[in-house]
Amino acid sequence: MEDGIHRSLGLTDDELDSIIAILGREPNHLELAMYAVMWSEHCSYKSSRVHLKRLPTEAPWVLVGPGENAGVVDVGDGIAAAIRIESHNHPSAIEPYQGAATGVGGILRDIFTMGARPIALMDPLRFGPLDDPRSRWIAEGVVSGVSGYGNSVGVPNVGGETVFDETYKGNPLVNVLCLGLLPTERLVLGQATGVGNLAVLLGSTTGRDGIGGVSVLASAGFSDEETDSAKRPSVQVGDPFEEKRLIEACLELLDAGLVVGIQDLGGAGLTCATSETASRGGMGMDVDVTQVPRREEGMEPFEVMTSESQERMLAIVEPEGLDRVLEICRRWEIRASVIGKVTPGPATGDADGGRLRILDGWDGEVLADIPAASLHEDAPLYQRPCVAPPAFDEGGRVLVTDQPVPQSDDPGAELLELLADTRWVWSQYDHQLFLNTVEGPGGDAAVLRLKHPATNADTGRGLALTTDGNHRWCAVDPRAGTALTVAESVLNLACVGARPLAVVNCLNFGNPEHPEVMWQLSEAVDGMAEACRAFDIPVIGGNVSLYNESLGADIDPTPVIGMLGVVDRLERRPPGVGLVDGGRLLLVGVTQPEVSGSRWARNRGHRGGHLPVLDHEIHLAVAGVVRQLVAGGLVAGAHDVATGGLGLALAEMAVRSGLGVSVARVADAAELFSESPSRVVLCVEPDLLTTVENVCQHAGAPVSRIGVAGGDRITVKGLLDVALADAAAAWADRIPAALGSGTAQD
């Protein structure tokens, strides 16, 4: 074999030695290509796995934890919820529309692979600054891609985030979360069992698109524009119409009980799907590569086995059910080809079995012959060096700075620059399909009616979903910042009356070969683990995206938390981020006048310091009482205090309701813009004021009266006084002015 070819496929010399030891011989080119994709960072989590083990993953309601295609929890009434979050950062940086579109397609397959019908998507998006033309191009393309694919495939997009920041210039973060529902008894796993069972490839033809996507794109950083555009052929192309028919066909196959196991084809394509189903079932598999329908002529076996062509699934079926499988696929106009057969393995007591063999015709030449499990279980595990950057102190936890605390020149103007309505993004997404969306995008969390996926019967309960990330907090202190992020999600759910059930996470970090990046990752995992343990929320799935860097600079660490909650009695719409005229404003929780890590401080050039402290007990008390008040219909408006502090929370409530606020008892800009946790602003009808205060005091949640809603100005006594109309214009115009007018404008 050609010397050094493994390196061009992304394998190290040591990794090649491991492969030789596993096989007892030199691998051929096809085998090498298969190991290269499966042992890539993207597929193997080889840098992060040692850390992820520290996350709490168990709770009585968890049906499937991390490691499967999606996490699954029991949500009662015979219904299970499958949830997953993923990143499509690198493809989206190169080819924004298709990168984002195929991100949606991929995560949908992860969900219906579990037997669940996808019912909601969320897209946490992070782009470079709005004044950077390339970042604007990426943002427009990504939003169009999410819109174009998601709307057509017919899954509502109910929320997410849109963040613009210098740190994502050149390397946007395009994360996508999907939630699906299934009858609890229909849960299926991606495994192959039963010697002689058939592996049927469903969906699209296989082409040269996306070859090496996981190893070429997702497991390396970006350098300059010329080499980046050369990577464009590694980005896949999506077809939502094919995916829609694939979803319907697969769910019908599952309903009919015709499937033993099913697995989507995502990163690493057929190599991953065949080896994963075989090794999960403790079996082997013979794959006849000539049976794979091709999109173009002259494709080499290694191209067929590593292509990431979209909209494909691998179903394991019994031979006697094949005709019915083919009939259902014909009805949905889905291509179906038998490409593999399950062979004996450890599960059948055959210690020498469990081989994944790639054949040139069923009785033809053996092109590859490797232990299926070795592609997963023997993937290298790296305990990469973790070193806090020199500027960090106090046991390497905190970015200590000698910068003076920033001073405010004009709090009113500084508040206006924080306002941005993300409607430009989410009005391009269908967020209402399936008639579940009680609270859609733009609020603290989405709320969906919970209907039984088989009978459509309304349970009278709801599910709530939120995603949250804050790179500014995590840049200052990745551990505390991640814990604060989890805490924010808990409060977002509380504001819509929901209690948390499960967390999924998307860890977006820089280059793992940089010791400080591994330190950030390790710290973030510990922060997430601490907070999830304190709040008793299991982590049931996650995705790690590394090599988010551009021109040698790593992004700020950006762990994104997706949190699923349940509303036990969904009798009314949550109050939402709004005000009523004459309503009294209450602040639940206590402000720490600490601005480190805040958006306001970063805008003043301040990086570092100590993040505000998270007190788990107070946080649970605040979240609990807010949930109780919202569920009881005692508040007219509720909004958690997060990015932008109390000032931005009040301003958002004002612009969204078209009512001013008059607030007192805020000492200074630090109190106005501090992002200290465990705080919620409530708007309460005057006659309910003392009731609400009593409920808070009884629950041990600090509460204070801070003002009143009404009028046409946003006033904070002694600090700022701005016209509501100016705030509303700043809020509404910021994104459309930069990204082109929405459809509602002339």
The contacts of residue 607 (CB under 8 Å, 6+ apart) are 399, 401, 403, 475, 476, 601
Q: Is the dihedral of CA 327, 262, 296, 96 positive or negative?
A: positive
**Is position 568 an interface residue for another protein (rule: CB under 8 A)?**
no
With the C-alpha atoms ordered 293, 294, 297, 301, is the resulting torsion angle positive or negative?
A: negative
Torsions phi, psi of 686, nearest 5?
-55, -35
Residue 746 binds another protein, judged by CB under 8 A: yes
β pairing state of 558-567 and 499-508: antiparallel
Q: Which of 229, 383, 432, 690 binds another protein (CB under 8 A)?
A: 432
Per-residue mark of binding to another protein, 658-687 (x: CB under 8 A):
------------------------------
Evaluate whether 203 touches 339 at the Cβ level (below 8 Å). Answer: no
> Using the rule CB under 8 A, is 697 a contact of another protein?
no
Q: Does 387 bind another protein (CB under 8 A)?
A: no
Backbone angles phi, psi at 547, to 5 degrees: 60, 30
CB atoms within 10 A of CB 615: 17
**Binding-site member from 44, 113, 151, 275 for another protein (CB under 8 A):** 151
Judged by beta carbon, residue 213 or residue 240, the one nearer another protein is: 240
Closer to another protein at the Cβ: 361 or 740?
Answer: 740
427 binds another protein (CB under 8 A): yes
Position 555, amino acid = I
Residue 717 interacts with another protein (CB under 8 A)?
no
- Are the beta carbons of 165 and 471 closer than 8 angstroms? yes
| Cβ proximity to another protein, 414 vs 430, nearer residue | 430
Active-site residue 42, yes or no? yes
- H-only helix segments in 360-512: 411-416, 423-426, 471-476, 478-495
Which residues from 573-592 bind another protein, rule CB under 8 A? Answer: 573
Distance CA 69, CA 204 (A): 20
Residues 6 or more apart in contact with residue 61 via CB below 8 angstroms: 73, 74, 75, 501, 502
* Catalytic-role residue among 6, 51, 88, 471: 88
Least separation in angstroms between CB 733 and another protein: 15
Q: Tokens in use for 647? A: 């000032």
**Segment interacting with another protein, rule: CB under 8 A, options 35-43, 190-198, 567-575, 655-663:** 567-575
Nearer to another protein, 74 or 248 (CB): 248
CB contact at 8 A, 665 and 631? no
Mask of contacts with another protein, 111-150, x by CB under 8 A? ------------------------------------xx--
- Please, what is the minimum distance in Å from the beta carbon of residue 435 to another protein? 5
Shortest Cβ 147–another protein spacing (Å): 5
- 152 counts as binding another protein under rule CB under 8 A: yes
Contacting residue, 29, 134, 244, 376, with another protein by CB under 8 A: 244
Q: Does 154 contact another protein by CB under 8 A? A: yes
**Applying CB under 8 A, which of residues 95, 123, 421, 430 lies at the interface with another protein?**
430
Q: How far is the CB of 161 from another protein (least distance, A)?
A: 18
Stretch that binds another protein, among 126-134, 197-205, 368-376, 570-578 (CB under 8 A): 570-578
Q: Kindly tell me which of 421 and 477 has the beta carbon lying closer to another protein.
A: 421
- The closest alpha carbon to 410, from 600, 166, 550, 274, belongs to 600
The SS3 of residue 244 is helix
- Does residue 333 touch another protein according to CB under 8 A? yes
Least gap, CB of 496 to another protein (angstroms): 13
Token pair for residue 503? 């967390």
Number of residues engaging another protein in binding (CB under 8 A): 39
The smaller minimum CB distance to another protein, of residues 48 and 151, is found at 151
Binding piece for another protein, criterion CB under 8 A, among 6-14, 77-85, 258-266, 434-442: 434-442
Least distance (Å) between residue 122 CB and another protein: 15
What span, in angstroms and rounded, lies between the C-alpha atoms of 227 and 27?
A: 29
Whole-Å CA distances, 208 to 79, 339, 495, 714: 40, 18, 47, 57
Q: Is 168 in the site for another protein (CB under 8 A)?
A: no
Q: Is 572 in the site for another protein (CB under 8 A)?
A: yes
Closest CA to 685 of 580, 574, 576, 588: 580
Residues whose CB is less than 8 angstroms from the CB of residue 3 and which lie 6 or more positions away in sequence, other chains included: none
Q: How far apart are CA 445 and CA 303, in angstroms?
A: 43
Give one DSSP letter per residue of 10-51, joined into a string. T--HHHHHHHHHHHTS---HHHHHHHHHHTSHHHH-TTTHHH
Burial 170-182, CB ≥16 within 10 A → b, else e: bbbbbbbbbbbbb
The position carrying tokens 């499509």 is 88
332 contributes a contact to another protein by CB under 8 A: yes
Give the SS3 label for residue 242: helix
Q: Which of 6, 42, 90, 431 is catalytic?
A: 42
Q: Based on CB atoms, which residue is closest to another protein, 131 or 333?
A: 333
Q: How far apart are CA 108 and CA 155, in angstroms?
A: 9
Find the shortest distance in angstroms from Cβ 660 to another protein: 24
Binding flag, residue 449, another protein (CB under 8 A):
yes
Shortest separation between residue 425's beta carbon and another protein, angstroms: 10
Specify the residue, 184 or 437, whose C-beta has the smaller distance to another protein: 437
Residue 88 falls in the annotated catalytic set: yes
Question: Which of 110, 239, 311, 556 contacts another protein by CB under 8 A?
Answer: 239
For another protein, the binding residue among 231, 245, 479, 599 (CB under 8 A) is 245
Q: So which residues are the catalytic ones?
A: 42, 88
Positions touching another protein (CB under 8 A) are 147-148, 151-154, 239-242, 244-245, 248, 332-333, 426-438, 449, 456, 570, 572-573, 741-746
